[in-house]
Structure 1
Amino acid sequence: QLLRAGKDRLGYTVLNPSSFNLKRPGSNQHPVIPTRIYLSLINVTGDLLGQLYQGIGTYESFIAAFADEHYALNLHTQKCLGLGGKRNYRPDMPQALMEHGLSEVFTNEFACPFKRDLQTVLLKMQYLAKTIIHLYTGMRDQEVMRMTYNCLSQETVRPTVKDEHGVVRDQPQSVSVLTVYVFSTTTKFTGYKKEAAWLAPGEVVQAIEICQAICRGLAKLYKVELDDECPLFLNPSILGYYRKNTEVIVTGFRSKRLQLNALQALTIQSEDLVELAQSDPCRDFYSDHKFVIGNPWTLNSHQFRRALAFYGSSSGFLSLPTVRAQFKQMTIQMARYYSNGFDSLRTIFGYFDNEKGQFVLPKDHFAFDFQMAMPMSVANQLIAELLFSEEPLFGGTGSFMQKQAQRVEAGEIHIEEVRADTERRVKSGAISYRPTLLGGCTKVGRCDSFMLGDYTECLSCEGAIIKPEKVNVAIEDASEELSCYAVDSGEYQIVKGDIDRLSAFKARLIDIVESEE
C-alpha cells in the first residue's frame, strides 16, 4: 500500500524488506551462575559491604573536605606549591582517613594511599553497591542506573490488625522498596515518566545508604540539590584533575579498573561445569572458551537476574544449607511478595497507568521473571536430582522417574522431551517438589501427614520419591531414639511402629533391587 502511494506523496522511498537479512544472529541464553560461585558471591559481597558500612557516618564530610583542592595532597607536593608554611599544610591522605575514622574502611580492596586514587576507589565502592543491588533485586542495568538519591522508601503491606475490643493482635508489616523511573507511552505515542518499585532486602538497603552518603559528599562539590533529579550514582570525576569542567553525570562502570579482585578470584571448577551441563543439556559448555576450568567466572548484570529468579524460586521448594542467613530471609520475602498475592503486589510495586485507570507492573519487572522461573527451577531440580541419580528410586513418582531415566539411557526418549514435559506439568500445577525426610514429594497442595510429622506415610504415597540412603538413615536415627524411651511408653510404641514400617518397606523393595544388582 505504501508503494502504491508513491515517494512523491510520502516524502520518502519505501524499501523492500526482502532485500535485507533481518534474522538475528544465534545467541545463547545467560547461564545460571553455578551454586558454588553464587554462594561465594553472596559471601564475598556481604563481607565487603560490611567493611564499607563502617564508614556510613563519615563519607559525606570526608568527600566534602575535597572542596579544598589542596586537601589530602602528599606533603612534598604541598611544599612545592608553597602553601605558606606548616600551619597551612593540609593532612595527607593517610592522615585525612585517620581523622575521619576511615582507615579501616579504605584498606585491601579499597586501599587509597594517595589522593589520585580516590576517584577510582569511590567508583569501586559504587560498583560493589550496584552489584549487590543486582544480586538481591534482579533489576536490569538501566533500571539501577536510573535510580535517584531519594529512591529508598518504606511501603506498608499489611496494616495493624485489631480485634473487636481494639486490642492489637498483629503489628503492621512494611518492606523497604527501591523506586525507579520507568518510561511508558500512551496510545497517542506521547512519552511519560512513572515510578515502579523493587523489593529491597537488608543488604540492598545498606548498599543504597552507602551510595547516598557518597552522593551527599559529591553533591556538595558539584553544588547540586539532593532532589528527585539527582542521580544516586553521581560520578566522582569531580575529584579528578579536570574538576572545573566536570559535568553532573551518572557513573559509568565499563572500565576494567573497577573490577573487584575478590570477584575475579572466583574461578570455574569442574563441578561448576557439571552443574551448567545439567542446567542446559543442549549447550556444550565444555567447548566454550568462556567456561574454561581455572578461569574467572565472567559476570554481567543480567546473570544476576536469571540466577536470582532461579535460586529464589527454588527456595520455596528446596533448601540451600550453605546459603547465608540473610539470603535465606530474602528469598522467603521474594516467595511471599513475588509469588503470592500478585494482585496486591501490583499496587505496591507497580505504577498507576492513566490510560488503563489501574495499577500495573512494568512489562520488564523482575516479578514476572521470578514467577516464570518457578516451574523451570522445579523441573531442573527434578531432572538433576532424579534422572541423574546413581541410586535407585522408589515410591509413586520415584518409580516413574526411575523408568524415565532408564528410557533416556537406552535412547528411547531424549532429555529435552523429559524436561519440556516436566516443565509443562509443573506450570499447569500437576506436580510440585519439596524435599522430605525420606527423599522428596511431588504432591501439589496441603499434606496433613507432612504437617504432623508422620513421615512414614510417604512410603505409600503416589507422589513420593523414596531414596534408599535416606531410608537407612531414618531407620538408624529412629533406632537410636528408641533406646531413649521406656518399653511401655507411648513414645516407644510410636517410634517402634515407624521402624517396623520402614524396615518392611526396605525388605520388600529396596533389598530385593540391591540384591538383583
Structure 2
Amino acid sequence: NIGKIAVIINGYDDSDLSQYPLFPSVRAGKRAKVNSFAGAPVVSLNGHRVSQKRLLARWPELIVVEADIRELEQFDGFRDWRNDPDVIIGQVWPLLTHQCRRSLAVYCSRSGLVSIGSLGLQFKHLTEVMASYYRKGSAFAVNFLNSGDAQNMIDEIEYERYKVQYINYEANVISTTSRLWGGEGNRIQVAREKGQPLIITTDREMTKKKFLKGELTYKLSPIGGCTSLEPCDKISFTSIFACIDCEKSILDDDRSLKNIQRGLNNLKRGQSLFVPENPQYKQLESEISEIYNKLEKRGLRKKMDALV
C-alpha cells in the first residue's frame, strides 16, 4: 500500500514489479538512491542519518555513556558490551524503530504494573509466548518507575484516568435517558423506576470523590461499561459478549445494542467463510444463537433487530 501511495505521489512506474522496490522512497528527492530498480528510487540510508541528527538536536543524551554500558552489563551479563562494535562510549545510540517495542515490553514487565496478557493485547500478539519473548530478561532491567519523578507522573496519570472515568459515568449512567441493563445497570434502573434512585446517581459530588479515590470505577467495555475494581478476565478478542451476564456491567438500549449487533455481524461474516457442515460453522452458530437467546430473555431482541 505504501508503494501504491508512492506511485500516486511521484508518478513512479510499478507496472513491472521486478523493477519496483519493496521499500520505495515516498518522497522522491536528491537524497533518494536509485540502485538497480528502474521503477522507483529506494529509501536512502542518508534519510536515517538526517533523522538521527534531528533526534540528537532534541535529546543530546542519546550518546552512549559509561553508565549505559554498566546498565547493559547488568541486563545481559553474557554479552561483551565493552567490546561490542555497535555500542561505543561517546558514539550515538544505534537506535532502531523496533527497539521501542522491545523496550516497552521490558520496562512494562519490570515495573510490575502490566500483566503479560495486557502486554500481549497492546502488541496485538496472538499468543502469550511472543509477549514473553519480547519481555525476556526484564527481571534484570532497571525499574526506573521507582524514582520519585516517575511516581509523580504515574500519580498524575492515575488522577486523570479516574477523572475521565467519572466524566464517562456521568454522561453514560447518571445523565442518560436510555434504559440501563446488565448486572449493575439493572440495579440502577430498578431503583430509578421505584422512585428511589441510588445515592451514587443523585449525589454527584460524593460520587466524584469516590471515583478520584479509586473507590468507584467505570471502564468502557466493548459493549458498554464495567464497574469492577479488579482486572477483567472474561473478555477476550474472541469473546466480547461476556458483559451481558456480568454482575458488574452497565449496558443500555442505545449504544450497547448497536455494539452487540455489530459484534453479531462480525460473527456472521466469519461464519460465512465455512460450509454448514464445518465444525467451526457449527460453533459460531451456537455462539450466535446463545447471544440471541440472552437478548430474547431480556426483551431486547426485537429492539436490536429494528436498529438500522
Q: Which TM-score applies when normalising by structure 2?
A: 0.45
Which entry has the higher C-alpha Rg, 1 or 2? 1
Identify the structure with bigger relative contact order (alpha carbons < 8 Å, sequence gap 6+).
1
Return the structure number with greater strand share: 1
Q: Which TM-score applies when normalising by structure 1?
A: 0.29
